[in-house]
Amino acid sequence: MKICIYMPREVEEIKRKVENVLAQNNVSYSFLTEKKKRECDIILIVGKDGDVLSFFSQFPNNKRPVLGINLSESPGFLTEIPINRLNDAIQKIKNNEFSIENIIRIKVITNHFTAYALNEVAIFPSKSATLMEYELWIDEEMVWRDYSDGVIIATPIGSTAYAMSAGGAFISPKARVFEIVSVNSMDISRRPIIVPCNSIIEIKNISCRYSPEIVIDGSIRHVVRGSVTIKKSEIPARFIKIDRAETIHDRIRKKIELSKEILDLPPSAKFVLKILEYEGALSQSDIVNKTLLPSRTVRYALSLLLKRGLIREKELLGRDARRKIYYIPPPEEMRQ
């Protein structure tokens, strides 16, 4: 068995731990490149949930099964194995005590640009707090013309991410569907729509004061000049499941636990929290660049999240000791 390691965050202590576990189990390994990917049997993604999304964006045609390893000692939604359980996971893989779950992905096409999403594709004006007008078409039939903050098309696994915070439904990870969610529509009848995953979804005649953008899995942005076509990717994401398959009830329970403290937060604070969940530690300027929210809004969101104890801050060493980064602490740090 040959394992490739995808580890975009250079954490030397974690890197040594991963290498030691693989060596102790006599597993051949290398760090991931396009060439190495073709030679390996399994890919370990070591990091946060956002790193799993980044992997599938960087390697959209990957057909190898992946296993997400969380940097902390608690599981994420996509990095289901905490780092302290890596040895147990490797032993189960060696003993063939695992299953592989195929997760549908989105393929998005617009003005000679093609990309893939594991969670969702969102279309918004490039400037926040700006309304957008658009037409929703499904299988060549017009469904509605909407006037809203934007629109999200999510996979089942992405239904518990950004789409849920915009009023979408919980969807079983095994369902073969897509979810379409209008964000803060001016028309209260624009409720979330569930369609079969073989549907062709088109967003046409987009009109707004500022250039509309596609936001793919919360990170990749591309200016839209025309219509947007969304359909199922030909290649699914293949996830290794070490324990029993996660049920929709497990995901709901996780989200309820996470939501207890954030239920009454303003949307901007929820958005900042979601970005930190996906991306890991970020400075205030990084958050402004990724969310496109005004600096004043980001400062207010960070102050609320700090007050609730949902995030922590620490100063960076260097020329400007006043520069801080913000991060979501692991459970063991939350208890301190």
- Supply the CATH number for residue 97's domain: 3.40.50.10330
Domain count, the chain: 3
pTM value surpassing 0.95: no
Q: What is the CA radius of gyration of the chain?
A: 20
Whether 57 and 171 map to the same domain: the answer is: no
Do 115 and 222 touch, CB atoms closer than 8 A? Answer: yes
In angstroms, the CA 4 to CA 46 distance is: 11
Q: Would you say the C-alpha torsion 201, 182, 58, 177 has a positive or negative sign?
A: negative
Give the residues across from 226 on adjacent strands.
Answer: none
Averaged pLDDT for residues 299-315: 88
Whether 79 and 94 map to the same domain: the answer is: yes
pLDDT over 90 at 250, yes or no:
no
pLDDT given at position 330: 60
**Three-state secondary-structure class, residue 146:** strand
Q: What angle do CA 310, 285, 121 make, to 5 degrees?
A: 75
Read off the pLDDT of residues 34-93 as tens digits, 9 standing for 90 and up. Answer: 566 677 899 999 988 889 998 998 899 999 999 999 887 777 788 889 898 999 999 999
For the chain, counts of helices (H) and of strands (E): 10, 22
In angstroms, the CA 238 to CA 66 distance is: 6
Whether 70 and 172 map to the same domain: the answer is: no
Spacing of C-alpha 326 from chain mean position: 18
CA distances from 332 to 72, 81, 258, 303 (A): 9, 16, 15, 22
pLDDT given at position 165: 76
pLDDT given at position 280: 74
Chosen domain end from 68, 103, 138 = 103
| Annotation says 49 is catalytic | yes
Whether 147 and 66 map to the same domain: the answer is: no
Whether 126 and 54 map to the same domain: the answer is: no
Whether 110 and 213 map to the same domain: the answer is: yes
Give 273's contacts (C-beta < 8 A, 6+ positions apart): 262, 265, 305, 310, 311, 328
pLDDT given at position 334: 44
Comparing 9-13, 135-139, 204-208, 228-232, the range with the smallest average pLDDT is 9-13
Do 194 and 179 touch, CB atoms closer than 8 A? Answer: yes
Chosen domain end from 103, 122, 155 = 103
Which residues form the domain of 22? 2-103
Check 49, 51, 149, 217 and give the catalytic one. Answer: 49
Whether 129 and 45 map to the same domain: the answer is: no
Indicate whether 174 belongs to any domain.
yes
Indicate whether 211 belongs to any domain.
yes
Averaged pLDDT for residues 4-30: 88
Whether 142 and 99 map to the same domain: the answer is: no
CATH number at 285 reads 1.10.10.10
Do 272 and 291 touch, CB atoms closer than 8 A? Answer: yes
